């Protein structure tokens, strides 16, 4: 690969995947270019059927791409899948632990698949059980686990060999809020230890709270990529709403030609200003109103949510799509 970020955990160029059914050919992933940097938590966002899981499964060596190139954990995905497998961990949506098997056995067995001796695998299993707080259920069969316990065990299976890069497919789907928060904590701890985490989600708040950078995929194509802050700013900047004593029109006239104001309007007596960066614009707005002799009654700063980003980029709300 000629160009590229030296410090990239994942780099893809034109990654494609076509599925042929009897009746039609479906392009599930239609040319994805992505760069995930080492050490970051990267969120892959999109509605169901957008191509998230297909992309993830290609990157995790489970599905051969129909076209394009990718480097994963420094190895070529197409020619060195065996080397990629040693360096990555992958936790699927379904999980991966067997209900009939004891949790500790699963962890130990997984370690042995990565070449550990029986003793080393046993020690690593004990470490993970402690780290993931699975002590109370570690020696029971998985069918007795709560949803949160099973999810933590499944994540543990992906962490057995201390991978450089961990793929998590919808890690919190179907979990109650507490279990969800614990998974988030776990992901942050991996991040603190230097592991790169690539996760898919259709929860916008999750992407916002957890991810350093995100990409939005829709109909098999990346429609946006950046930090959550950048993406939100790209869409609409920030919104400043204010009211003044006296006619609102005076305030509007005074502010609408200022360089930091992109767009201004009045709705129900409230002035709405669309600005690039609200935290920079606010002091300037205050000074301008002061200079114009207008008395400010209220002022508020609103940031667009990732849902606004999604709406703008795909034409639909993720909440509607996900439901």
x-marked contacts with other proteins along 157-176 as a string, rule CB under 8 A: x-------------------
Tell me the two tokens of residue 66: 């129909």
Dihedral over Cα of 107, 108, 109, 113: its sign: positive
Query: Quick one: 98 or 176, whose CB is closer to other proteins?
Result: 98
Strand-pair partners of 214: 43, 226
Tell me the two tokens of residue 196: 């790169």
Select from 32-40, 109-117, 190-198, 229-237 the region that touches other proteins (CB under 8 A): 109-117
| Spatial distance between the Cα atoms of 232 and 306, rounded to a whole number of angstroms | 6
| Spatial distance between the Cα atoms of 248 and 85, rounded to a whole number of angstroms | 63
Question: How large is the C-alpha radius of gyration of the chain?
Answer: 24
Dihedral over Cα of 195, 196, 198, 201: its sign: positive
Q: Does residue 57 interact with other proteins by CB under 8 A?
A: yes
The single-letter DSSP state of residue 3 is S
| Spatial distance between the Cα atoms of 86 and 162, rounded to a whole number of angstroms | 10
Q: Does residue 119 interact with other proteins by CB under 8 A?
A: no
- Chosen residue from 82, 119, 192, 257 binding other proteins by CB under 8 A: 82
Q: Quote the least distance from Cβ 36 to other proteins, whole Å.
A: 18
Contacts of other proteins in 244-283 (CB under 8 A): none
Q: Quote the least distance from Cβ 126 to other proteins, whole Å.
A: 19
Q: Does residue 98 interact with other proteins by CB under 8 A?
A: yes
| Spatial distance between the Cα atoms of 46 and 68, rounded to a whole number of angstroms | 21
Cβ atoms of 134 and 103 closer than 8 Å: yes
Dihedral over Cα of 122, 125, 127, 129: its sign: negative
Q: Quote the least distance from Cβ 172 to other proteins, whole Å.
A: 16
Q: Quote the least distance from Cβ 168 to other proteins, whole Å.
A: 13
- Chosen residue from 35, 55, 71, 110 binding other proteins by CB under 8 A: 110
Select from 103-111, 177-185, 200-208, 276-284 the region that touches other proteins (CB under 8 A): 103-111
Ramachandran region, residue 3 (left: φ > 0; alpha: ψ -120 to 50; beta: rest)? beta
Query: Quick one: 89 or 304, whose CB is closer to other proteins?
Result: 89
Query: Quick one: 68 or 278, whose CB is closer to other proteins?
Result: 68
Cβ atoms of 196 and 40 closer than 8 Å: yes
| Spatial distance between the Cα atoms of 125 and 127, rounded to a whole number of angstroms | 5
- Chosen residue from 4, 7, 19, 227 binding other proteins by CB under 8 A: 19
Cβ atoms of 234 and 224 closer than 8 Å: yes
Q: Does residue 109 interact with other proteins by CB under 8 A?
A: yes
Q: Quote the least distance from Cβ 123 to other proteins, whole Å.
A: 17
Q: Does residue 96 interact with other proteins by CB under 8 A?
A: yes
Q: Quote the least distance from Cβ 44 to other proteins, whole Å.
A: 17
Query: Quick one: 64 or 147, whose CB is closer to other proteins?
Result: 64
- Chosen residue from 38, 63, 162, 219 binding other proteins by CB under 8 A: 63
Q: State the number of binding residues for other proteins (CB under 8 A).
A: 32
Please choose, from the candidates 92, 167, 89, 102, the residue with its C-alpha nearest in 3D space to the C-alpha of residue 129.
Answer: 102
Q: Does residue 79 interact with other proteins by CB under 8 A?
A: no
Place of tokens 């939005």: 216
Q: Does residue 94 interact with other proteins by CB under 8 A?
A: yes
Q: Which residues bind other proteins (CB under 8 A)?
A: 19, 57, 60-64, 82, 85-86, 88-90, 92-101, 105, 109-110, 112-115, 154, 157
């Amino acid at each position: 690969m000629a160009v590229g970020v030296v410090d990239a955990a994942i780099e893809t160029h034109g990654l494609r995947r076509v599925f042929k059914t009897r009746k039609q050919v479906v392009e599930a992933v239609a040319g994805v270019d992505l760069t995930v940097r080492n050490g970051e938590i990267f969120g892959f966002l999109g509605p169901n059927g957008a191509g998230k899981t297909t992309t993830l499964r290609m990157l995790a060596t489970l599905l051969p791409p129909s076209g394009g190139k990718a480097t994963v954990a420094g190895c070529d995905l197409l020619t060195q899948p065996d080397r990629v497998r040693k360096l990555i961990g992958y936790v699927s949506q379904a999980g991966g632990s067997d209900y009939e098997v004891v949790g500790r056995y699963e962890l130990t067995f997984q370690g042995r698949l990565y070449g550990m001796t029986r003793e080393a695998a046993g020690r690593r299993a004990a470490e993970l059980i402690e780290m993931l707080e699975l002590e109370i259920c570690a020696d029971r069969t998985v069918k007795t686990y709560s949803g949160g316990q099973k999810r933590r065990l499944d994540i543990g299976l992906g962490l057995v060999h201390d991978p450089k890069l961990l793929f998590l497919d919808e890690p919190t789907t179907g979990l109650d809020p507490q279990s969800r928060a614990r998974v988030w904590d776990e992901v942050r701890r991996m991040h603190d230890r230097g592991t790169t985490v690539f996760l898919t989600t259709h929860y916008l708040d999750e992407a916002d709270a957890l991810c350093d950078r995100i990409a939005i995929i829709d109909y098999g194509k990346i429609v946006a990529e950046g930090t959550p802050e950048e993406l939100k700013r790209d869409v609409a900047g920030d919104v400043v709403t204010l009211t003044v004593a006296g006619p609102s029109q005076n305030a509007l006239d005074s502010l609408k030609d200022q360089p930091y104001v992109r767009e201004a309007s009045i709705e129900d007596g409230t002035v709405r200003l669309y600005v690039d960066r609200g935290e920079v614009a606010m002091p300037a707005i205050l000074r301008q109103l002061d200079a114009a002799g207008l008395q400010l009654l209220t002022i508020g700063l609103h940031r667009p949510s990732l849902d606004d980003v999604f709406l703008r980029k795909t034409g639909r709300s993720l909440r509607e799509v996900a439901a």
